[in-house]
């Protein structure tokens, strides 16, 4: 059963047992923790007898000595010393609740903590009361084949498919949990491509990667797998933080099984409970929730911005409370290594809002200005719409770094991989899916399952750094502007100038504004664009503001001439003739 959806559907079918006793929206509270438990159980199965024997031999030792001994026997970073496993649990229906708790308590400390985040004991009690516990345990015991020959990436697909299904039932936002894998693969390619020579030639390299909204750990797993395929001697230590308890528990269980350090995954809000406050990382990836407000963290964030300024994370500015996307970007920038220490690279997914929202010297504009003037924005890649499960909106990958290559210094690259200028059939950047998944109707081909390798094409457009119909390269200053205030004189009813201390007064009702490109001389622009139309106008330089925005679509706009009148007339006549024939057929 190689298809992850088949595996997910088999697990999903177990939820049928809950009908009538559980609300559909609550199925995940049972199925997700049981899936995690069964996966842990399956992984431990080959060494279970050896662990039990070692436990009998060393059980008198202190816990801090016993735990590493048993982990070593299990050949993993966790173990279970209970005499039970799922197959044994399914043999005794009379004492199942007690035995299941005994089994859970037999896990090492790190694994027990994972189960606690599911509030699983409450579900054991409910299932026992409803006489469903034995049926569910038996089904999971019989489902062991699901976990055969499953790597972390495929298991991640399974968990995310389950979460998507549960989210649909409860009207929650599945997209807050995970990112389509082809998008992650593209982000990882963009992240590592510039460092390919170092990462493939040298042996024994250790790198670190961080995701401040890591969900079930999909980005961490794909990045680790990608780097391992580039160079099997390279080690990627992954770190993350997640606010959703179920997603956090799934991510942490994956870290345990892969041999990563589960302590690197922190629980809580990255803004108010930064679990990795003093850490710096080589690479960072993230897909923060689109358009989610930060009201719950408002006081802490505003206090930090006011009291710590540039010494904190949010010195550049604060975005509107309705959208915290750029807070995540500032959080990640705060964890960049200094350029002299090797620097950092990151890729983050946004919707269109962070590109242009907010006027000059607003919070969002100031954040863009800070990033661009520090020469950290390397590239922005526009993706096809309808890629994500919870939204059909257009999205963009920002590549940010403090160690640009020499040819990229002072430059920003825009890559238009939206495919919007082409029909769905044979589109160079996406394939239309045969069956949609929520709002996801398109996917970027990765060269597997008979699909073209569109990820490789987009990566090449980025890496080649050459202007063409899909790629434009600009100076940093091209995105800056001065917002000038254009004043007109106040006049009385007779049309005479109103003077005060001999100075002309501005008429607020006639006040206007102009955005002057940063590369242009303001006075020359004013003389050319304004004075010919309003000769009595002047600039109030005391009100001039600086801003930055990236109007992405403007740079790739292609003019399409209107159809000629003869073409339109021919179509109308043809339609009229066709309709007339239909009417005659009906009358006849």
Do the beta carbons of residue 135 and residue 41 sit within 8 Å? no
206: which strand partners? 235
Helix axis angle, 133-142 relative to 120-129, nearest 10°?
Answer: 110
Do the beta carbons of residue 513 and residue 486 sit within 8 Å? yes
∠ at Cα 57 (54, 62), nearest 5°? Answer: 95
d(CA 109, CA 485): 64
d(CA 354, CA 70): 50
What is the reported pLDDT for 112? 93
Q: Which of 63, 80, 151 is nearest to 114 (CA)?
A: 80
What is the reported pLDDT for 2? 46
The domain ranges of the chain are 4-150, 169-478, 479-554
Query: What DSSP character marks residue 468?
Result: B
CATH number of 4-150: 1.20.1260
Do the beta carbons of residue 425 and residue 452 sit within 8 Å? no
Q: Which of 72, 10, 66 is nearest to 38 (CA)?
A: 10
DSSP conformation letters of 519-561: TS-HHHHHHHHTTTT-TT-EE-GGG-EEEE---HHHHT----P
265: which strand partners? 240
Do the beta carbons of residue 172 and residue 27 sit within 8 Å? no
What is the reported pLDDT for 582? 66
3-state secondary structure of 69: helix
CATH 3.40.710.10 fits 169-478, yes or no: no
Positions in the chain short of pLDDT 50: 1-2, 174-175
Q: What are phi and psi of 285, to 5 degrees?
A: -135, 145
3-state secondary structure of 180: coil
Do the beta carbons of residue 387 and residue 444 sit within 8 Å? yes
What is the reported pLDDT for 146? 87
Quick: pLDDT tens for 160-200.
Answer: 888 877 777 665 554 455 688 899 999 999 999 999 989 99
What is the reported pLDDT for 391? 85
d(CA 392, CA 534): 44
What is the reported pLDDT for 175? 44
Q: Which of 232, 229, 224 is nearest to 283 (CA)?
A: 224
Quick: pLDDT tens for 224-245.
Answer: 999 999 999 999 999 999 999 9
Q: What percentage of the chain carries pLDDT values higher than 70?
A: 96
What is the reported pLDDT for 120? 93
What is the reported pLDDT for 201? 87
SS3 content of the chain, % helix, strand, coil (to 5): 50, 15, 35
């Amino acid at each position: 059963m190689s298809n992850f959806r088949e595996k997910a559907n088999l697990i999903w079918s177990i939820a049928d047992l809950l009908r009538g006793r559980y609300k559909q929206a609550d199925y995940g509270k049972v199925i997700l923790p049981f899936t995690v438990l069964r996966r842990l159980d399956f992984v431990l199965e080959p060494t279970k007898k050896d662990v039990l024997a070692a436990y009998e031999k060393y059980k008198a030792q202190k816990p801090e000595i016993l735990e590493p001994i048993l982990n070593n026997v299990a050949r993993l970073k966790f173990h279970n010393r209970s005499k039970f496993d799922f197959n044994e649990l399914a043999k005794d229906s009379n004492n199942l609740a007690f035995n299941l708790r005994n089994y859970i308590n037999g896990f090492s400390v790190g694994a027990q903590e994972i189960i606690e985040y599911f509030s699983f004991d409450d579900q054991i009690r409910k299932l026992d009361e409803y006489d469903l516990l034995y049926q569910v345990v038996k089904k999971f015991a019989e489902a062991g084949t699901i976990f055969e020959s499953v790597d972390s990436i495929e298991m991640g697909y399974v968990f995310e498919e389950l979460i998507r299904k549960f989210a649909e039932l409860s009207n929650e936002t599945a997209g807050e949990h995970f990112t389509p894998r082809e998008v992650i693969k593209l982000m990882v390619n963009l992240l590592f491509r510039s460092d390919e020579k170092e990462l493939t030639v040298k042996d024994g390299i250790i790198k670190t990667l961080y995701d401040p909204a890591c969900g079930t750990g999909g980005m961490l797993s794909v990045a680790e797998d990608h780097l391992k395929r580039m160079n099997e001697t390279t080690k990627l230590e992954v770190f993350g933080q997640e606010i959703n308890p179920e997603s956090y528990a799934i991510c942490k269980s994956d870290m345990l099984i892969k041999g990563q350090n589960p302590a690197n995954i922190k629980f809580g809000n990255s803004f108010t409970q930064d679990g990795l406050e003093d850490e710096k990382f080589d690479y960072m990836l993230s897909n923060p929730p689109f358009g989610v407000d930060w009201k719950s963290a408002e006081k802490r964030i505003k206090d930090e911005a006011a009291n710590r300024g540039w010494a904190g994370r949010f010195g550049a500015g604060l975005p509107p409370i309705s959208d915290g996307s750029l807070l995540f970007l500032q959080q990640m920038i705060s964890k960049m290594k200094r350029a002299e220490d090797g620097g950092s690279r990151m890729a983050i997914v946004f919707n269109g809002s962070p590109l242009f929202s907010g006027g000059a010297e607003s919070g969002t504009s100031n954040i863009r200005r800070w990033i661009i003037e520090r020469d950290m924005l390397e590239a922005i890649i526009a993706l096809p719409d309808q890629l994500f499960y919870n939204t059909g909106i257009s999205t963009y990958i920002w590549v940010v770094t403090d160690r640009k290559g020499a040819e990229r210094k002072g430059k920003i690259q825009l890559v238009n991989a939206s495919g919007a200028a082409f029909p769905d059939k044979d589109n160079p950047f996406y394939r239309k899916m045969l069956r949609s998944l929520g709002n996801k109707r398109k996917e970027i081909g990765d060269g597997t399952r008979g699909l073209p390798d569109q990820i490789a094409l987009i990566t090449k457009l980025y890496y080649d750094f050459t202007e063409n119909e899909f790629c434009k390269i600009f100076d940093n200053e091209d995105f800056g502007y001065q917002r000038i205030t254009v004043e007109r004189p106040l006049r009385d009813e007779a049309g005479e100038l109103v003077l005060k201390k001999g100075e002309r007064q501005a008429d607020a009702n006639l006040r206007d504004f102009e955005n002057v490109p940063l590369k242009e001389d303001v006075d020359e622009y004013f003389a050319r664009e304004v004075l010919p139309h309003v000769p009595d106008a002047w600039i109030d330089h005391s009100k001039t503001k600086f801003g930055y925005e990236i109007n992405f679509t403007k740079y790739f706009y292609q003019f399409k001439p209107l159809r000629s009148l003869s073409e339109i007339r021919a179509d109308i006549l043809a339609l009229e003739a066709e309709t007339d024939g239909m009417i005659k057929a009906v009358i006849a």
